[in-house]
Amino acid sequence: MAEINSKADGKPMIEFRGVAKSFGALKVLERVDLQVAKGEFLVLLGASGCGKSTMLNLVSGFERASSGSIWVNGREVKDVDPACGMVFQQYALFPWKTVRENVEFGLKMRGVSRKERAKVAQYYIEMVGLKGFENSFPNKLSGGMKQRVSIARVLANDPDVMLFDEPFAALDAMTRQVLQEQLLSIYEKSGKTIIFITHSIDEALMLSTRMVVMGSKPGRVVQDIANDLPHPRTADVQLSQRYIDLKRSIWETVQVEVMKGLEAGRL
């Protein structure tokens, strides 16, 4: 834990400054002020439709704020930002390209030489545990393996920030646990700044250094809590009193937000 925290030097890597976002008459986000320090692993939680994906789309530059501004590594986001890599729930791989070609794609687009691309791709393919599958096509891979290709592809681009939009939601529980452990190990090695969306409070507790719960309609931050659980986050950690206390605290906030939604007839 100390080792992980030492990477966070306090300078915001990602910053939302008074951000509001509407789609036509629909107010999705209101007054979002959020700073994510370099090296943090921030998990976003909140009911469906509260604007979590919209927040990632704003950071990556896929969407523009209606007011306020978003900053990544000291630069205001004005366009699709190569400093951000996104991993989606749907794998978004090219089905006609092999694992290696998928991982090399961003490097090829940036004009990196064939030899250098192959070296970088191999490094990340091995990091996500896919050695031996370099020449396989995505349709020959399991869901977990496809998601590991997506992660390797993002890592190969060496972004400052990695954004994960419910990346493990479609996977079975065992595969999900293995990928969580792999992601934590990659995070510890790479020192990336991460924003990760999940509906699972347990997943949030296992992965994050910090958890932010969003309220709905319009979306805003309703809880912001440091996750000080020790590493490695083994099964024993999940039985600790601190784990249970944190889980209850997050769960209560999420419940309040869901009930508000029900009372307002929105869900």
Kindly list the residues in this chain that would bind ligand ADP in the complex (CB under 6 A).
Answer: 23, 26, 28, 46, 48-54
The item of Mg ion, ligand ADP, none sharing an interface with residue 234, based on CB under 5 to 8 Å by kind, is none
Site string for Mg ion, 58-97 (x = CB under 5 A): ----------------------------------------
Residue with smaller CB distance to Mg ion, 89 or 136: 89
Can you tell me which residue has the tokens 């929105």? 266
| Residue 229 three-state SS | coil
* 216 binds Mg ion, rule: CB under 5 A: no
For Mg ion, the binding residue among 53, 60, 147, 223 (CB under 5 A) is: 53
Question: How is residue 2 annotated by DSSP?
Answer: H
Residue with smaller CB distance to Mg ion, 42 or 99: 42
| Residue 48 three-state SS | coil
In the range 9-38, which residues lie near Mg ion by CB under 5 A?
A: none
Its sign, for the CA torsion 111, 115, 121, 127, is negative
Residue with smaller CB distance to Mg ion, 53 or 209: 53
Question: What is the closest distance, in whole angstroms, from the C-beta atom of residue 13 to Mg ion in the complex?
Answer: 22
Q: Pick from 49, 63, 60: which is nearest to 20 by CA?
A: 63
Give the span between the Cα atoms of 217 and 219, in whole angstroms: 5
E strand residue ranges, the chain: 12-23, 26-37, 41-45, 67-72, 75-76, 84-88, 161-165, 193-197, 210-215, 220-226
Question: What is the closest distance, in whole angstroms, from the C-beta atom of residue 57 to ligand ADP in the complex?
Answer: 7
Question: Can you read off the two tokens belonging to residue 146?
Answer: 């496809």
Give the span between the Cα atoms of 249 and 251, in whole angstroms: 5
Bond before 218 cis per omega within 30 degrees: yes
* 180 binds Mg ion, rule: CB under 5 A: no
Question: What is the closest distance, in whole angstroms, from the C-beta atom of residue 1 to ligand ADP in the complex?
Answer: 29
# residues near Mg ion by CB under 5 A: 1
Q: Which stretch binds Mg ion (CB under 5 A): 49-57, 69-77, 121-129, 150-158?
A: 49-57
* 54 binds Mg ion, rule: CB under 5 A: no
Q: Interface residues with Mg ion (CB under 5 A)?
A: 53
